[in-house]
Structure 1
Amino acid sequence: MSHQTIYSVSVALCLCTLFAFVFSDSPEAMRDLVTDLPGQSGVSFRHFAGYVPVEKKNGRAMFYWFFEAMSLPNQKPLVLWLNGGPGCSSVGYGATQEIGPFLVANKGNSFQFNPFAWNHEANILFLESPVGVGFSYSNTSSDYKKIGDEFTARDTYSFIQNWLERFPAYKENDFYIAGESYAGKYIPELAEVVYDKNNENSSLHIKLKGILLGNPETSEAEDWDGWVDYAWSHAVISDELYGVIKRSCNFSSNTTWDVKECKDNIDEVINQYHKIDQYSLYTPTCNGNSTLSSSLDSTRFRTNLGNSKMMPRMMGGYDPCLDDYTRVFYNRADIQKALHASDGIHLKNWSICNDDIFNNWTDSKPSVLPIYKKLIAGGFRIWIYSGDTDGRVPVLGTRYCINKLALPIKTSWRPWYHEKQVSGWLQEYEGLTFGTFKGAGHDVPSFKPSESLAFFSAFLKGVLPALSPQ
């Protein structure tokens, strides 16, 4: 099917009767069934969207969009996809820019079908996490001042439990967690909570099998070193600036941000990256003249060095204006009503990233490498991949992080192939597999959709992608 196929007027009321599923759906689940999404015609799967409460006292609820597998959903795994930020929407990025079956098109006015959607291989659940991201919310304003890694992991675990009560047929499906960027911290932290809770109470057992992480933030010292080294090795900064940073910055030290020379020169790296798309070094930036594009120019760059060691965030991607188009799309009344995000009259103000969350993040683990060791010892499958043209969480930093684990090598560094072409390089360790995507930026599936689907399929099967042309 062509990647350019555009769906026309919806006849999606047929979705309820087109396919005979073995699942027994709860009334709550059926209320979330999406039947009138503008631009969607009949498809070979059902999808659901809505709110799941995660904490009653303060009134916290999280928004999800769930796509059943295109075939045999009762037999295929359930995969939770998380984007990072922190403060960015998995519905805005993962679902409609990367791996979902419907990709935003025509400046936010329509969809196009994604022939490389990951629900070819699994049931995919997108979650806007934590509250304050996208449509997810709390009725207690003080909650937004407490949001951090632990808060997010706890609420997301509560979401999974409550979602499985709404969709009980999936309790027996194998469960995986996947995502990218700051979800490199969310995902191991959530996996650890699931692992610990499973050991505490078998009646709440979640069949977690593994995690998949793309261009993940992992360990601050190694991530920062990789960020600087990558900028220098890709000619973004001068030899002189690089030398000063290497001399004045010790990213392993808690006091490095007290060193003015270090902070000033890191700011200069950020200034250079502000001129291009840090997330994709070799693609253009968005130069649209729309009111929306110009209004976003001043917020496109965020850093949080004032109160933490969190790395800078700039909006970006393969189509440099996709973030703008996605914002248009999710603020449409007909879209919000179809997805049960609002009644279509009293609209929610949706943004792809919540900068207040990013700038007020209360806790961030310096490193999740100890959790990696725990999950490896627990026998979980861990795969990591890196787009090698991403300057935000570059391949160098990820390699530095993996090297810190000092894992024995099972399969040495070599190319992996898709459709007889080298798609990247791969190394398999005892307990972890790492692969790169040649020519891909931060949101790898946006750049390499076919290759990403093949890599994802290999991950679910627990076998390496092709290591020779076939």
Structure 2
Amino acid sequence: MPEVHFDVGELYSGLVPIDKDNQSRALFFIFQPTTGEPVDEITIWLNGGPGCSSLEGFIQENGRFIWQPGTFAPVENPYAWTNLTNMLWVDQPVGTGFSIGTPTAVSQEETAAEFVKFFKNFQEIFGIKNFKIYVTGESYAGRYVPYISAAMLDQQDKEYYDLNGALVYDPCIAQYDFTQQQVPVFPFLQENANMFNFNKSYMAELEELHKACGYEDYIDKYLNFPPPGIQPPKMFNYTTDAKCDLFSMISNEAFNVNPCFDVYEVNLMCPLLWDITAFPTALVYQPEGATVYFDRKDVKRALHAPEHVTWSECSNEPVFVGGKAGPEQEGDISANPIEHVLPQVIEGTNRVLVSNGDYDMIIMTNGTLLAIQNMTWNGELGFQSQPQTPINIEMPDLMYKDVFKQNGEAGADGPQGIMGIQHYERGLMWAQTYQSGHMQPQYQPRVTYRHLEWLLRRVDSL
């Protein structure tokens, strides 16, 4: 791999067709067998968007090496998920990253059906059968992961689709714009007020809208344990409800205070750091002579990627017919995962983890909890008890231990301590992550490493 000046180990990549007799529609993958003890299992990672490449996860979150924004070169990742399991990163659906073909899908059911076909073809190429399967991802993959997992369960084929669990970070699982954005955004602002530095009069204006638009009453009623009942169907209309668009008001004003504001991690400040994936697109800073790593010809050759494809972190064209590029769900007509497919996956595996990072504003912690409290699984609605058990991360900081030693900071690479809240009921594990933005394996790799250990049944709690 260009710029990677150490042995990354055994690694494969390329295109695998969805249908064997049609090479014009294929998904791009990177597959790396575990560098630890051999295991008969495979963990799939999917980024979201819709239309965002899973190569972001590979190079900045949980891969064998990582190249973080603002750094000179890639480094080995001591928290690589390949330490524990065989890893498969996939650009899907068609139209994402290096995958080829024309998007035809309008629903998650269709993209999941295509993924199931691709995955069987992949397994046959690599001689994999009877592997335990874990499907993981973040953001809009909060929709991909449950639908793909449910499609695997529907196959009733343990030889090729032995699904054993699923994990989603900061996921779109409910009515995204209302439940996971508008309702929780003012309390989020209050909790992180020192990072926004809004004046008192503007804070008072926002608080009044939070009450007048019914968001305060909604949280007071439904964010309870156990929940009082099923939440009414709500959808935010950006035309008729424009006066109640607190999310846009807060995010727009945040740029006036902090020109480098990042809705994915609100504690980030200036200066802008060059990101080798050129993400997020709204804040791209490309210094003279810099290139997008995966769009380099030498990188494409090394990865057996299609050289005619211009790689971008997120597709400039919709990956669902009739939709838009980006997080809007237009074109994706499927029901929200909490309505049926996520409960199906929980009940089919009793090993599902849903997690949210507290510095993420695009999908907020309380919004995800509200979604869970509106979901029925294994016979009951929501969590019956309030999450409160701490997550104590005892592993040392393997990433920067040498830096600490060089600077004479003895003990600075010790355990991380209390880094979140965990709660398990009826097959579902909830994990709130402190001090993390949207891309949790990037921002809090020690914590997410523990999440993976739980998913793979290496530990019983977080």
Match of 2:119 among 160, 167, 173: 160
1:54 equivalent in alignment to 2:18 = yes
CA contact (8 A) 1:223 1:393 kept: yes
Q: How do residues 129-208 of structure 1 correspond to structure 2 at under 5 angstroms?
A: 129-138=92-101, 140=102, 143=103, 146-169=105-128, 171-198=129-156, 202=157, 205-208=160-163
Return the letter of the residue paired with 1:368: P
CA contact (8 A) 1:407 1:430 kept: no
Return the letter of the residue paired with 2:188: Y
1:363 equivalent in alignment to 2:332 = yes
TM-score in terms of structure 1 length? 0.75
| Deviation, structure 1 residue 267 | 3.4
2:169, 2:460 → 1: CA distance? Answer: 16
Aligned to 1:66: 31
Deviations 1:131-188 (A, max 9, x none): 11111110x4xx36x454333222222211111111123x222100011111111101
Deviations 1:414-439 (A, max 9, x none): 11111251121111111201112211
Match of 1:388 among 345, 353, 358: 358
| Deviation, structure 1 residue 39 | 2.7
SS at match of 2:89: strand
Match of 2:310 among 346, 349, 370: 349
* Distance change (3 Å), C-alpha of 1:159 and 1:110: farther
Return the letter of the residue paired with 1:403: Q
SS at match of 2:292: helix
CA contact (8 A) 1:327 1:352 kept: no
Deviations 1:52-100 (A, max 9, x none): 1114558211100111100333x24200000101111111x21000000
| Deviation, structure 1 residue 284 | 1.9
Q: How do residues 198-237 of structure 1 correspond to structure 2 at under 5 angstroms?
A: 198=156, 202=157, 205-220=160-175, 221-224=178-181, 225-227=183-185, 229-235=187-193
Query: Which 5+ residue runs of structure 2 have no aligned equivalent?
Result: 216-231, 376-380, 395-414
TM-score in terms of structure 2 length? 0.76
Aligned to 1:20: none
SS at match of 1:359: coil
| Deviation, structure 1 residue 40 | 4.6
2:289, 2:34 → 1: CA distance? Answer: 26
| Deviation, structure 1 residue 216 | 0.9
CA contact (8 A) 1:286 1:321 kept: no
| Deviation, structure 1 residue 388 | 1.1
| Deviation, structure 1 residue 262 | 3.9
Aligned to 1:312: none
CA contact (8 A) 2:70 2:275 kept: no
* Distance change (3 Å), C-alpha of 1:355 and 1:261: same
SS at match of 2:67: strand
1:404, 1:163 → 2: CA distance? Answer: 36
Once the two structures are overlaid, the 10-residue window that deviates more, 154-163 or 80-89, is 154-163
Q: Which has the higher helix share?
A: 1
* Distance change (3 Å), C-alpha of 1:409 and 1:265: closer
Deviations 1:256-315 (A, max 9, x none): 34415346655323423555111111122553599997xx88x41xxxxxxxxxxxxxx7
1:376, 1:425 → 2: CA distance? Answer: 20
| Deviation, structure 1 residue 446 | 1.0
1:323, 1:174 → 2: CA distance? Answer: 44
Once the two structures are overlaid, the 10-residue window that deviates more, 434-443 or 216-225, is 216-225
Aligned to 1:452: 448
2:286, 2:47 → 1: CA distance? Answer: 16
Return the letter of the residue paired with 1:163: F
Deviations 1:360-406 (A, max 9, x none): 55114352112222223324411112111111111111111122233
Match of 1:416 among 391, 401, 412: 391
- Runs (4+) of structure 1 moved beyond 6 Å? 106-109, 289-293, 320-327
1:240, 1:410 → 2: CA distance? Answer: 34
SS at match of 1:133: coil
SS at match of 1:164: helix
Return the letter of the residue paired with 2:295: N
2:458, 2:422 → 1: CA distance? Answer: 14
CA contact (8 A) 1:90 1:128 kept: yes
SS at match of 1:355: coil
* Distance change (3 Å), C-alpha of 1:291 and 1:188: closer
SS at match of 1:137: coil
Match of 2:250 among 235, 244, 269: 269
CA contact (8 A) 2:353 2:429 kept: yes
CA contact (8 A) 2:163 2:349 kept: no
Deviations 1:315-346 (A, max 9, x none): 7xxxx97999996211111111010004xxx5
SS at match of 1:362: coil
Return the letter of the residue paired with 1:256: N
